[in-house]
């Protein structure tokens, strides 16, 4: 009888990279308040949403869900934030309640996060030990210029 010396080592699951840990600042429940920016013929309206950021099992992706109102319109959406170790880039994929899909590249510099998409972008600054997130959103207008779209403040509630 021959003895089989092939022992299999249990495969270890992949582990998130240190860059994933930077996304911890988002994790939690937030109240989002602000307003859209008035433009020619369009008045500013209030924004009130409840946002939740949580880790997807495994710790590689952040799931962000939001529900609320912009003016008199019920809105919601889902965002998935990821870090790609091969390209060394953060990415965001957004799906909203009006059927829109958008993709953004995220960058982080000294606690300031920037989402840069084809037609929208946002800069968020964290303060108050990560309990407040102040975000300025912009959009491309018909002439191809970046114009303010909305300003919001998110306050961590949990």
pLDDT at 92: 98
Torsion-angle region of 23 (φ positive above 0: left; ψ -120 to 50: alpha; else: beta)? alpha
Q: Where are the domains of the chain?
A: 18-156
pTM of the predicted structure, to 2 decimals: 0.88
Please tell me the predicted confidence (pLDDT) of residue 8. 65
116, 108 in Cβ contact below 8 A?
A: no
pLDDT at 76: 98
Position 155 scores a pLDDT of 98
The per-residue pLDDT for 6 is: 58
Q: For residue 100, what are the β-bridge partners?
A: none
Helix (H) / strand (E) element for 20: namely helix 18-21
How many Cα neighbours within 13 Å face the side chain of 139? 10
Mean pLDDT by 10 residues, the chain (158 residues): 60 91 97 95 96 97 98 97 96 97 96 95 96 97 95 97
Fold category of 18-156 in CATH = Lipocalin (2.40.128)
């Amino acid at each position: 009888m021959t003895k089989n010396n092939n022992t299999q080592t249990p495969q270890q699951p992949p582990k998130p990279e240190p860059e994933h840990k930077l996304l911890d600042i988002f994790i939690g429940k937030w109240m989002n308040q602000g307003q859209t920016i008035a433009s020619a013929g369009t008045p500013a309206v209030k924004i009130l949403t409840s946002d939740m950021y949580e880790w997807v099992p495994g710790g590689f992706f952040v799931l962000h869900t939001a529900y609320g109102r912009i003016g008199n319109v019920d809105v919601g959406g889902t965002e998935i934030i990821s870090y790609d170790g091969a390209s060394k880039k953060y990415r965001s994929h957004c799906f909203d309640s009006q059927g829109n899909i958008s993709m953004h590249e995220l960058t982080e510099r000294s606690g300031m996060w920037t989402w840069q998409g084809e037609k929208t972008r946002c800069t968020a600054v964290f303060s108050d030990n990560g309990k407040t997130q102040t975000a300025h959103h912009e959009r491309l207008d018909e002439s191809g210029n970046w114009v303010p779209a909305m300003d919001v403040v998110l306050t961590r509630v949990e």
